[in-house]
Chains A and B, each alone.
Chain A
Amino acid sequence: MSCVNPLDAAVLADYWLGALAGAEEEGVELHLLDCDECGGRLREVMALAEEVRKIAREGSLRMVVSDGIIERAVGEGLRVRQYAPPAGGGVECTVTAEDDLLIGRLAADLSGARRVDLCICDERGVEQLRLADIAVHSGAGEVVYQESMTFAKASPSMKMIARLVGFDEAGVERLLGEYTFNHTRSLPGPGAW
């Protein structure tokens, strides 16, 4: 039997997260106790949440993270390798087989920036990847970037430049900081992508 008033997957996610107000939650629960189709959709959302959790633990995503995410990873026994090169400077870095997450802490004054992009550049400074409009608080004072551990473990020795750029109200772009990571391969083999 097809549900005549199906619950949206995002609302079901809110329900699973405990993010619905009392009356709305009660409405969802009454519906779920009467509807296997929406129950099936909730199971899909639960599976999605569980799988995202596994993906996050793998450290394979390139993304901006919070300190809370790092603290949780450490609490779960994951090994987190962190580097904090100064703005305009560089740092020697590597990864080992035991590392789970690779973090770069990029200190910068983000105030006044309406939008912040993180650009990943090669050793010549040529942009290879841009994370546009990253999720950062303008008062944070730093961007916490997670490099893909899959990428890093496969990487040969190389230099990578991270560049933070901000956009003001008028949309004018300005450099907020540039950070050089001098990666030395310490894993066996030559490394290749």
Chain B
Amino acid sequence: MGSSLHIKYVVMDIELKDAELVLQIGSGGGREAEAELFRRMASRIRLYGLRHLRDEQAAEDLTQQVMITTLEALRAGRLREPERLASFVLGTCRMTVLDMRRGAQRKERLLEQFGADLLAPVQPSLPQLDHEQLTRCVQNLKERERTVVVMTFYDEQTGADVARLLGVSEANVRVIRHRAIHQLRECMGAAA
């Protein structure tokens, strides 16, 4: 990627909202607007994919397919209300996840059509946490909070399951979990 193109991205990031990019793409605004929209939306779609597919490669596939569908629609001017981009992308994410679960594969053909350079993978960027510090933070939680957090994140029990096992209400489990998460974040130096 050349430096002049990079400068344009930065300028667009400051000056243009998502809806303005949508209008640019719809009016034949070119590859720079598409690349900027991809840069913004890809990481957001990827989070959706990780949440629903629980697999990094599948989330990457989802990101590419949703962006392709979105760019197709924008090029064709099918998104009549640009400020509803998030809603359009969410609907596309849902449909694509359903498609993926049904095993529909048209990725290779579309990659050829749109070009692999535009659709380069966005690497996961989970922040690195201080393991020893977090261990101390977890150990310093109240007993119920620690047990609920470990049952939730390690054993992947639902709130209803935890409630049944501990003989408390599901709402109570949610309160305990929320309190624990806030305390862990505070202990790790993050805002709520």
Contact = CB atoms under 8 A, between A and B. Distances in A.
Do A and B interact with each other, yes or no? yes
Interface stretch (B2-10, B108-116, B182-190): B182-190
Contacts of A16: 51
Interface in B148-192: 148-159, 161, 165-167, 174, 177-178, 181-182, 184-185, 188, 190, 192
The A contact surface, by secondary structure, is: helix
Contacts, number: 153
B174 A69 contact: no
Contact of A26 (B45, B90, B144): B90
B24 interface: no
Interface string B96-140: 000000000000000000000000000001111101001100110
Nearest to A50: B126
A34 to B, nearest CB: 4
B182 A10 contact: yes
B44 A33 contact: yes
B138 A55 contact: yes
Contacts of A10: 177-178, 181-182, 192
A149 to B, nearest CB: 12
Nearest to A28: B51
A68 B126 contact: no
A131 B146 CA distance: 11
The B contact surface, by secondary structure, is: helix
B51 A44 contact: no
A131 B143 contact: yes
Given A43-B126, A63-B150, A55 B131 contact: yes
A134 interface: yes
B64 to A, nearest CB: 16
A17 interface: yes
Contacts of B135: 55, 58, 60-61
A33 B181 contact: no
A139 B167 CA distance: 8
B76 interface: no
A63 B50 CA distance: 30
A66 interface: yes
Contact of B144 (A17, A49, A57, A134): A134
B166 A135 contact: yes
B157 A61 contact: no
A65 B192 CA distance: 27
Given A33-B90, A52-B134, A135-B166, A72 B150 contact: no
A80 interface: no
A133 to B, nearest CB: 6
Interface in A1-50: 8-10, 13-19, 26, 29-34, 36, 39, 42-50
A44 B150 contact: no
Contacts of A138: 167
Contacts of B166: 135-137
Contact of A133 (B45, B144, B151, B188): B144
Contacts of A66: 147, 151, 155, 157, 165
B79 interface: no
Given A36-B43, A39-B47, A47 B128 contact: yes
7 contacts: A19-B174, A26-B90, A29-B48, A65-B147, A133-B142, A134-B143, A135-B166
Top 8 closest A-B pairs, CB basis?
Answer: A10-B178, A56-B154, A135-B147, A137-B167, A33-B86, A47-B126, A34-B86, A52-B153
